[in-house]
Structure 1
């Protein structure tokens, strides 16, 4: 069997609404979806900062994390032409902490911290829970790729959700990471992150299995690198970021880098470190200019699942040969060999894209997608 691993399905719930299509349309338009909180406005520590809140979503009595995750998984299955996940599938749930069995004594707000629930598991599927801070979904994709290459599962679904809640908001506020204005990744006047919420899911499988259902199977998850550790605080160590990019590209067998969908949250240290890493890799590959973009000025930082909207955008860039702008970016920080598109920009030769995802505790990951 061909063990080439492909991305066969994606699903999203974001501040643009439910679905990958409105998310992509919003990114390409350059229109951000950040604004004052509605459901979340009375949380302690919230002072009116813009957030990426999901609009008009009825969780139907289910905890929001599980409801967002369920909706994203359903869309990913539709895009992969999978009415149900096959027996033996592996589901990797990413998030802050697993939901307690039966819910225990949790109140409504506490439920928004835990989960999503393992009840998302279909019959016959194995479930893992994985948490690597804001790089969790990228770590899960790397694990999925390894499991599929080894023949340990016929298919892997990576699923997660983030919900605006008082606990996680307070944790970001206390370390002074939250911007008072909308996040502006890579902008010289950036001053921090904007938090968002939503659900995300990606489905990975071998190219042979995907083609059996009539899929193109043209988006290969070609390489991945995960690192825990670094000499500097969260996501601000250029050496660690460069190592992730270099290792993932080497594993992919790539001698080019056509696009980076960056982690870029809008913090001064993190964005600068990432730009330095892209510059270093572009120089090694003798690439004059790499288009670099980020979605976090559009929908906010989705914490543990932030790699899912990044992967969705990178996959669509490879399919359409278009790189969207970075919403919120007006005056880019100067960087050699880096180009920040100011509007949706065609790149006819786009073939290899890297997705960066970094987090507290030195959790760093890069996933490389290639269009075959």
Structure 2
């Protein structure tokens, strides 16, 4: 069968460096770091006392206080970002068939704060099971797409993808395939995460996954730098409206880019560490190129997973050299996690948005906080260090990899 073309017609973002698309893009191109001391709880006794929290964000500016109390922060973030994307696209259930508009959303953890607080409250009590009646519906990862669909009356495919840090890239790829196969006209997709909590910080610290650069949080996320020593935890949401090309054209929608392919793979190696030779990362990019029907030499830019971990950055860099060969040196590579921190299940969505905006504006956001070359990484590659670079981007890839060995890669193309 002839696969349908899929395009992006709406974008929404809620990030540590900007609370909407314009603010997010401004933060990216200006190399703004979102890292700062934690304000949500007393982190004095924690190994890591900073994170990339949202700034100047008040949920009641967007959601009624009574309704907001029924949602975990990850769902609140999903609602705000998806509302922006839906408004941007002009998609409306009254003007289209609501049965053919879906919501597929990613979250690596879901309602962690809700789970944490309910258990702590129980432990502090007399043993009586006095749990909030909204405990379960606030906590479950699939509640975000459910809430989005209820608000907008979108009655098409509706579910959550959970693949750790690859979750929202998986949601984008699933959405691409549902529309390609004619099973939906449009899908609101992306991801959200709100893991800057006692449990989140404590858990990642116990794994030795986080940077502990408490004396200088703003430079703590330093992908590909010799002195990197862990990622910085971030929070927020990214949303995209994916739509069948003819459906978008028929209603006069603005088209940001075409989604031309997606690749998936597994490291099948370790529960948290990447394959040391980047085998899964290599395979996922090869699979994406094949699925998109393009050559390695067609790629202009790659938003790398680039978490600022000692092992991950090396493995991904090796994989890019293997896949792209000499062309790798002509590609603009970058890691926006140097600015936003790592948004876990929302990372793929906000990084896909960065790739799309790079096409629109002809600009590659920088990888900030690079001070010292790592001899284990080929620094002849263009990692777009410290300053944004002008570049006409026709095809871009976005990589996201997750604990468990989950790998996802999405390909976008600028429309002629």
Q: How does 1:83-232 map to 2 (within 5 A)?
A: 83-84=92-93, 86-88=97-99, 89-96=101-108, 105-106=131-132, 114-115=140-141, 116-117=143-144, 118-122=146-150, 123-125=153-155, 126-163=157-194, 164-181=196-213, 182-217=220-255, 219-232=257-270
Query: Does the 8 Å CA contact 1:9/1:203 hold for their aligned counterparts?
Result: yes
Following the alignment from structure 1 to structure 2, what is the Cα–Cα distance between the partners of residues 159 and 251?
20
Query: 1:215, CA displacement in angstroms?
Result: 3.1
Relative to structure 1, is the Cα distance of residues 293 and 124 closer, same or farther in structure 2, using a 3 angstrom cutoff? closer
Structure 1 residue 304 and structure 2 residue 349: aligned?
no
Relative to structure 1, is the Cα distance of residues 128 and 299 closer, same or farther in structure 2, using a 3 angstrom cutoff? same
Query: Does the 8 Å CA contact 1:258/1:352 hold for their aligned counterparts?
Result: yes
User: What are the Cα deviations for residues 129-158 of structure 1, in whole angstroms up to 9, with x where unaligned?
Assistant: 221111001111111111101111111111
Aligned residues: 367
Query: 1:81, CA displacement in angstroms?
Result: 1.9
Unaligned runs of 5+ in 1: none
**Per residue, is there more helix in 1 or in 2?**
2
Following the alignment from structure 2 to structure 1, what is the Cα–Cα distance between the partners of residues 269 and 20?
38
User: What are the Cα deviations for residues 244-302 of structure 1, in whole angstroms up to 9, with x where unaligned?
Assistant: 1111012112122211101111001001011111111220x745422111111212111
Aligned to 2:398: 355
Relative to structure 1, is the Cα distance of residues 199 and 170 closer, same or farther in structure 2, using a 3 angstrom cutoff? same
Q: Of 287, 291, 294, which residue of structure 2 is paired with 1:247? A: 287
Relative to structure 1, is the Cα distance of residues 279 and 160 closer, same or farther in structure 2, using a 3 angstrom cutoff? same
Following the alignment from structure 2 to structure 1, what is the Cα–Cα distance between the partners of residues 353 and 235?
16
SS of the residue corresponding to residue 314 of structure 1 reads helix
SS of the residue corresponding to residue 306 of structure 1 reads helix
Query: 1:106, CA displacement in angstroms?
Result: 4.6
Normalized against structure 2, the TM-score is what?
0.81
Relative to structure 1, is the Cα distance of residues 359 and 98 closer, same or farther in structure 2, using a 3 angstrom cutoff? closer
Following the alignment from structure 1 to structure 2, what is the Cα–Cα distance between the partners of residues 106 and 271?
42
Q: How does 1:21-60 map to 2 (within 5 A)?
A: 21-40=22-41, 42=42, 46-60=46-60
Normalized against structure 1, the TM-score is what?
0.90
Query: 1:231, CA displacement in angstroms?
Result: 2.6
Query: 1:356, CA displacement in angstroms?
Result: 0.3
- Cα RMSD (Å) of the superposition? 2.6
Structure 1 residue 269 and structure 2 residue 270: aligned?
no
Following the alignment from structure 2 to structure 1, what is the Cα–Cα distance between the partners of residues 29 and 47?
30
Following the alignment from structure 2 to structure 1, what is the Cα–Cα distance between the partners of residues 387 and 181?
41
